[in-house]
Amino acid sequence: MSQESIISLKNVNKWFGDFQVLQDVNLEVKKKERIVVCGPSGSGKSTMIRCINRLEEHQEGTIVVDGIELTGNLKNIDSVRREVGMVFQQFNLFPHLSVKENITLAPIWVKKMPKAEAEELAMKQLEIVKIPEQANKYPGQLSGGQQQRVAIARSLAMNPNIMLFDEPTSALDPEMIKEVLDVMVDLAEGGMTMIVVTHEMGFAKTVANRMVFMDEGRIVEEAPPDKFFNNPESDRTKLFLSQILNH
């Protein structure tokens, strides 16, 4: 444990109204670590990772990302968002912008990059996600798998240190899941720090350094994939695994 954490959640609590959605969540993520988060629906997985780039606000505890603490301070929030990329279940591409414009928008407006340079960067990112030929199309003209890869490219263009994925393949048809997972595996091999909420256990086994299992707003179990899949400690984890592995 010599290395410092790049993401650190300490005793994080969060409520939606009276409903406590996160309870004493503690999580430390080191640089280049790949964490896969799983758990039943409504267990707070999305809420937890959305707290990390402040799409949701936590009410108690501390969240520190790359040395910056997330508080009400808008400047800190901006700095953290530059460090952290996020990929959503529903892709959330900007439908009125072309693929290339989707990718260049943030570099141009947030990083003040010259347009030509941003376009070159966009093409490079599109090569990485293997769809450079789609650059001038609009999101509505792409398949789900292609859209999600554009969304990944859009995040990567901001050169983040950390990537968050919230069920990136759940909205995809089976034949498209692989093309997205392949890109994510490449990314992991390139050394990206990643937190991935997914139920793709094959992906988890090959890529994750650590599995995190959540239930009812708590982190119930945290273990390397080997131990997690073959020898889980908690009964709830066992039940969950038996449900998702046997259907």
Residues that bind ligand ATP (CB under 6 A): 16, 21, 39, 41-47
Q: Find out whether 150 and 179 touch, Cβ atoms under 8 Å.
A: no
Continuous H helices in 110-143: 115-128
Give dist(CA 108, CA 54) in Å, integer. 22
* Residue 123 vs 171, nearer CB to Mg ion: 171
Question: Which DSSP state fits 195?
Answer: E
90 binds, among another protein, Mg ion, ligand ATP, none (CB under 5 to 8 A by kind): another protein
Does position 16 interact with another protein (CB under 8 A)? The reply is no
The answer to the question of residue 102 lying near Mg ion (CB under 5 A) is: no
Task: Tell which positions 24-53 bind Mg ion, by CB under 5 A.
Answer: 46
The nearer residue to ligand ATP, 44 or 168, going by C-beta atoms, is 44
To the nearest 10 degrees (0 to 180), the angle between helices 99-109 and 115-128 is 130
CB of 41 to ligand ATP, least distance (A): 3
Minimum distance of ligand ATP from residue 180's CB (angstroms)? 17
Contact 9, 63 (CB under 8 A): yes
Q: Which does 43 bind (CB under 5 to 8 A by kind): another protein, ligand ATP, Mg ion, none?
A: ligand ATP
- Report d(CA 44, CA 216) in Å as an integer: 7
Residue 72 interacts with, from Mg ion, ligand ATP, another protein, none (CB under 5-8 Å by kind):
none
- Residue 100: contacted member of Mg ion, another protein, ligand ATP, none (CB under 5 to 8 Å, by partner type): none
Q: Token digits for 22?
A: 């996160």
Q: At what angle do helices 115-128 and 144-156 cross, to 10 degrees?
A: 130
Which residues in this chain contact Mg ion in the complex, by CB under 5 A?
46
